[in-house]
Amino acid sequence: SQQGEEDPQALSIQEGENATMNCSYKTSINNLQWYRQNSGRGLVHLILIRSNEREKHSGRLRVTLDTSKKSSSLLITASRAADTASYFCATAQGGSEKLVFGKGTKLTVNP
């Protein structure tokens, strides 16, 4: 069964606005990752946050992790049309090397 669940399922914003996507998961994790998928392409790794970290930045991306609430958020600041894609969170449980993905948030950034 799916471990992570993204919210919202779809998000449409204007260029320049910020986009926030959330991910909730069910069991304890080693780390949580965010991936991006452009239409018809494979997934690309964006950022990994470990269970002992609370916040991480990479360029225009900011990820937070709240292990007490079993949730994470991905913030994309100053969005661009090129950010249009689906975004997935993925979690690794315990000592497992298996990554379990959520169903994704489809982001549309309108020019």
Q: Stretches 16-24, 58-66, 73-81, 100-108: which one binds another protein (CB under 8 A)?
A: 100-108
- CA–CA distance from 25 to each of 8, 29, 42, 50, 109 (Å)? 14, 9, 23, 14, 26
Residue 3 — left, alpha, or beta (φ > 0 → left; ψ -120 to 50 → alpha)? alpha
Indicate the residue among 45 and 80 with the shorter CB distance to another protein: 45
Indicate the residue among 94 and 111 with the shorter CB distance to another protein: 94
> Do 6 and 104 meet the contact criterion of CB atoms below 8 Å apart?
yes
* Residues in contact with 75: Cβ distance below 8 Å, sequence separation at least 6, in sequence order: 18, 19, 20, 61, 62, 63, 64
* Shortest Å, Cβ 33 to another protein: 7
Any contact of residue 25 with another protein (CB under 8 A)? no
Indicate the residue among 9 and 14 with the shorter CB distance to another protein: 9
Any contact of residue 92 with another protein (CB under 8 A)? yes
> Do 32 and 72 meet the contact criterion of CB atoms below 8 Å apart?
yes
Any contact of residue 75 with another protein (CB under 8 A)? no
* Shortest Å, Cβ 98 to another protein: 6
82: DSSP letter:
G
Which positions touch another protein (CB under 8 A)? 1-2, 30-31, 33, 35, 40-45, 48, 88, 90, 92, 97-104
